Amino acid sequence: MTSYQENHDLLKICKLAPVIPVLVVDETSKAVPLAKALITGGLRVLEVTLRTDNALAVIKEMVNSNAEGIIGAGTLLSEKDVYAAKKAGAKFGVSPGATEQILRACAEVSLPLLPGAATPSEVMSLLSKGYSVQKFFPAESNGGVKALKSILGPIPGVSFCPTGGVTPTNAIDYLSLTNVPCVGGSWVAPENKIKAADWRAITERARSTQAFRKPSAG
């Protein structure tokens, strides 16, 4: 698979739901009930960030126990992270930026990547390598909706998943843009709700995001 084909497949994944929950999970025992709570609420695509010691084990548990879920690994910062995420069963990877090492490793193991970009030059550089689906990060700090609207004019061939400062209040503004198939957000399953095992609240938050769904995705 070429980087373009892998990235193109990722666009299909991004269109499955309006929000990709960005998850920070430390306790492996919370993996399966958390994934089920989110999937029950209509969010099948989940990003587990590699920010905790047990993140890879959490990914493995989710992958093995939730057939309907599409589990990705976030915060990929090195080749080692890419290889470990693939071994854990991640179906896609997310990086806050992009390095040649990460791009090469993802291509080597056929892990579809959502690489981070924050400027037109970074967007163009990734597009030249075949990455037509990118993570706009950190979204709010880099101009938010206005910035993405400005990028759409000269670079219409790139779709973005904005992450960083995206909330229930501004998510619908991002999703109104034609170059935004989905957004990434931590509010759906915040750490305090996960630690409290408040699965009902997380399911309700997931269900509430369906109001953001684009009409064409229904």
Catalytic positions, written as ranges: 47, 135
CA atoms within 13 A on the CB side of 42: 15
State both tokens at 8.
């193109």
Q: Which two tokens stand for residue 107?
A: 């291509």
Give the other-Cβ count within 10 Å of 150's Cβ: 12
What is the C-alpha separation between 171 and 163, in angstroms, rounded? 10
Q: What is the dihedral of CA 48, 54, 57, 58, to 10 degrees?
A: -40
